[in-house]
Amino acid sequence: MLKLEPLTTAQIPLLREFLSRYPRQSCDYNICNLLSWGKIYNNQYTLWEGHLVLVNPQYSYLLYPVGPGLGADKTRELFDLYREDAPEAKLLIIPENWQESCPGLDRHFEINDDRDWYDYVYATEKMVNLRGKKLTKKKNLISQFRRANPNYHVLPISKEKHEVIERFTEKWRRERHVEGSYLDTEMKAIQNTLEMWDELPVEGIIVCLDQRIAAYSIFSPQTQDMVTVHFEKFDPDKKGSAQLIYWETARYLQSRYKWINREQDIGLEGLRQAKTSYAPDFMVKFLVGIAK
């Protein structure tokens, strides 16, 4: 049986240590996500055989361990220890190169991929320049917004703006008549992020228009050359505001990161259409292992 402990902001140094040495591109390993969403799911952790082990007990998910590599037999041993408390356990986010990094893993697990949880990754330079026929419409919408609102400006998110951000997010949801369990959970994740702002390695920007928010984004480091954008909200009544916050976020980050991870579409048709319309440069696959 694994001796698991609650994952809190006190473990940020531990998360930094492991994820800097053994970086993972999947947004589910992002420190902000592990804590902001993890506070909802009561995420837990332990150290085992020199590896960082992360679990989501609400859904009996064991994330593929972070470290130098356990090998197939040891990975199954770890999984079985967790399964003593979680009989329905699944091994999540197996590396795409598992056949080289962990040969023989398929002796112990049936390995499947789940398209709904693929991460969308874009070159930051492409998101700034928006070259090519596929992105022409995005560029035109940004130009329309800028012509209609020449006095807009961009500010970094600071703690004193958190209450305004929460009100804007509630307004966005109310006016779009957006409901559902995922949106309820996302709202809580945004609140958790703002509450832990000073402790998390997170930052963001606001697009201001006439002393009011037109859009905002919140993001944090994923790897040395990749940043993950966690939340983006915009005023649907301001034409081009969605495209503008994408563009301004990329401009804000272009000197620091080569890649922008915009997370998953979770199988929502509207999200999938929006994310694919920007022509991702690559996807981070989501591989799941079910014990044989």
Ordered domains of the chain (ranges, CATH): 5-117 (3.40.630.30), 120-263 (3.40.630.30)
Can you say whether the dihedral through the CA atoms of 187, 249, 246, 160 is positive or negative?
positive
Tens digit of pLDDT per residue, the chain (292 long)? 899 999 999 999 999 999 999 999 999 999 999 999 999 999 999 999 999 999 999 999 999 999 999 999 999 999 999 999 999 999 999 999 999 999 999 999 999 999 999 999 999 999 999 999 999 999 999 999 999 999 999 999 999 999 999 999 988 777 665 555 677 889 899 999 999 999 999 999 999 998 899 999 999 999 999 999 999 999 988 999 999 999 999 999 999 999 999 999 999 898 999 999 999 999 999 999 999 9
pTM (two decimals): 0.95
Phi, psi of 102 (to 5 degrees): -145, 65
> Would you state the structure tokens that stand for residue 212, as one six-digit string?
């009011």
Question: CA-to-CA distance for 102 and 286, rounded, in angstroms?
Answer: 16
| Cα–Cα dist 220/200, whole Å | 9
Residue partners of 53: CB distance under 8 A and separation at least 6: 2, 4, 45, 46, 47, 62, 63, 65, 66, 78, 82
Alpha carbon distance 71, 75 (integer Å): 6
